[in-house]
Chain A
């Protein structure tokens, strides 16, 4: 997924090979990840696709089934992975992930701790941010979940950047051998306040901690604990409002310069100089409006910085 090997970088000359991970794009809300295997086929409502037809084609290409249906084959990215991964837990999405990486000040070479691993959605983006020289240590107390995460990181080619441990961070804290090494710590735990003292020990002075909690009561308690040896405590909620854009016909019959201002925003407007000329005409227009449905809440992001005491 990541160009850890510079030769695997996306390019006009790089083509899909046997064994590559590809994202099969049917529609924006229908994608899946697949390993290309020359003897394999993909079967869906558009027909049967032979993997062997894909080999040698560039990423981003449109491929056809036996029935003439088509899909696109995309190079995997952490964003696409977040949309196709198998949900073993509730996962973090792009808005929270992006703010977490930025606010935790994660750059290549950083050592980052995470608990729990969950489905590995954030972990994949953490790995991208610390590559090629840093490392992510991620912990989950659920053995099977940790094993599935490990398999996923193997599949996405991130295993050299990520170590998955089975450990109850709320109960046992982070391993002692990591003490004082972490640049950043991310907690997604039901009782984050139990893990905060240990997170404080593993962080470098001025290192940043983030705790993700869906409920304000969790935030309240986490903040009470944080105040003893953390500073710069900031709590955010971040959401995305998306827009739908479509082409439609707009009746311009009554349109004149005077009422243009009252038309819906962002709507493409076309009129001609002579108003009388376009009476009762309709024009194809680009119409945009915010999507009616959106996520109203994901979680609160609590950030804090370890005090410099030496």
Chain B
């Protein structure tokens, strides 16, 4: 799977969980926390993204990403592993 596809899937879940960000122009350097996405919503975004990509890995494996670009890269690396 292409890295861009993973990133697009992640953005789709963010927009699903936080509809207020529907019109936001996301950059890889955006952090969900800085955009006002609360901790429960952040967890949900990650779990939905893993579901959408069919990735059966503990969400804890993706802890530590500082922005959505890094998170997307971590997910992509797991998919490729």
- Bind each other: no
Q: Which residues of A approach B to under 8 Å, CB–CB? A: none
